[in-house]
Amino acid sequence: MSDLGGQKHGHVYRVLTQNSPFADPDAFEPGADTIGYLRESKVLVIGAGGLGCEILKDLALSGFTDIHVIDMDTIDVTNLNRQFLFRQADVGKTKAEVAAAFINKRLGHLGAKVTAHVGKIQDFDETFYRKFNLLIAGLDNIAARRWMNATLHDMVDRTSGEPDPSTIIPLIDGGTEGFKGQARVIIPTMTSCFDCSLDAFPPQVNYPLCTIAETPRLPEHCVEYAVVVLWEQRFPGQKLNRDSPADMQWVYEQAKDRAATFGIPGVTYQLTMGVVKRIIPAIASTNALIAAALVAEALKVATYCGPVLNNYMMYMGQQGVYTHTFPYQKKEDCMVCGGAKLTMKRPKSSTLQELLDELGSHPSLQLSRPSISSTSGIVFMQNPKAIREQHEYKLQMSLKDLTQADPPVFSEGEDLIVTDPMLPTKLTLQVHLE
């Protein structure tokens, strides 16, 4: 084995050179060729945060050599307790580059080479993603995971009718939240996808401005008011720096005063941080467990040395070490993997504003600011402001009046295109009036 990297990965090579009762005998061929697949697999890790650091280390120690990592963030001092590839001196530097350099220095002798890509995942196109055999996502936000999921589905060539297997790139997706975590394997078009399970995530909490301004009831409302209204009044045009303790202290004190005015208990510095940063508490051991599960799947996907997770594993660490695995079913009307159109029945007299609200609160879409266009042009556009203002007059118009305007703003039943910052791809919507 010395020509394959010596005994350094002896533990992994032992698995890959012996028959296994668990492996599919038609797919798994123990021996040097399989070890070769592993070493030649090009893996992209998305996110170099809490999960990403663990994933990179696990990949390098599991015998992967061609590892890439993409992340847009720089290192913050609050990352250091768990993102163990970073040190005090790295604060302010980019996560992807520091993580890559650390692994290369520490584990380079195992053959691991990590290449860093600094930027948003949306900055890279299909040509970039097509280079990889598999992706592992350790992301902390749903929008980015939806984008990645949709992009990999778009990349599957279906021109012959059936998906071309050579264009399918597996996505191994992990997420953690406090003591809870999950790992799943998404094989585009074959398994359920990220959007199929969107109903399982609670919708992002956005408090309506009228509530936070006029009838605050929760401590969160007071914090939001301090951020959205008071900050702008006191520091017009200046962006709140969520990583600055001075800024956060200011927000906290304003929120506390407001809470006192309305007799609302519970505003603490901790809560302020949580609301402002939408912090999901991170626990290092949860990240370690989930990353290990993800990399075990990567090893199996790359070598067929065992059955791949089918397809969703949940870890619940609140009360013990408990996991639950089940096949998450494909959703037939999934917009991403099912290619479905959304149809909505709306009363004739309902307004465009009500239609937008309905889209915004749709549990399996989770849109934030939907814009709609028809074959005749813009129905409504959220941005830029100047364009939005041109179309605002339609918001209170009834759908019936919009379809009967001269020229019609849209026609009943036609394919409308919906775009939204939360939406990875365009969505086709048909509106029927009743």
Report, as residue numbers or ranges, the catalytic residues.
210
Nearest distance from C-beta of residue 431 to Zn ion, angstroms: 23
- Are the beta carbons of 69 and 54 closer than 8 angstroms? no
Q: Report the C-alpha gap between 348 and 412 in whole angstroms.
A: 10
Q: How far is the CB of 186 from Zn ion (least distance, A)?
A: 9
Q: Which is nearer to Zn ion, 81 or 343 (CB)?
A: 343
- Closer CB to Zn ion, 197 or 286, in the complex: 197
Contact, 198 vs 204, CB < 8 A? no
Task: Rank residues 20 and 167 by Cβ distance to Zn ion and give the closer one.
Answer: 167
User: Under the rule (CB under 5 A), what is the footprint of Zn ion?
Assistant: 193, 195-196, 334, 336-337
Type of residue numbered 272: T
Nearer to Zn ion, 41 or 311 (CB): 311
In the complex, the smallest distance separating the C-beta of residue 188 from Zn ion, rounded to whole angstroms, is 9
Unique residue bearing structure tokens 């030649």: 40
What is the spatial distance between Cα 433 and Cα 394, in angstroms, rounded to a whole number? Answer: 17
- The closest alpha carbon to 182, from 288, 361, 314, belongs to 314
**What 8-state DSSP symbol labels residue 117?**
E
- In angstroms, give the least distance from the CB of 27 to Zn ion: 25
**Strand 377-380, strand 371-374: pairing:** antiparallel
Shortest distance (Å) from residue 331 CB to Zn ion:
6
> In terms of C-beta distances under 8 Å and separation of at least 24 residues, what long-range contacts does 221-225 make, across chains too?
221/264, 222/255, 222/256, 222/258, 222/259, 222/262, 222/264, 222/267, 223/251, 223/252, 223/255, 223/267, 223/271, 223/272, 223/275, 223/276, 224/275, 225/254, 225/255, 225/258
The CB-of-336 to Zn ion minimum distance in angstroms stands at: 5
- Tokens describing residue 170: 């597996």
Identify whether the C-beta of residue 176 lies closer than 8 Å to the C-beta of residue 283: yes
SS3 110: helix
Q: Minimal CB distance to Zn ion: which residue?
A: 334
Matching residue, tokens 């945060």 = 49
Nearer to Zn ion by Cβ, of 79 and 191: the residue is 191
**Closer residue to Zn ion (CB): 143 or 229:** 143
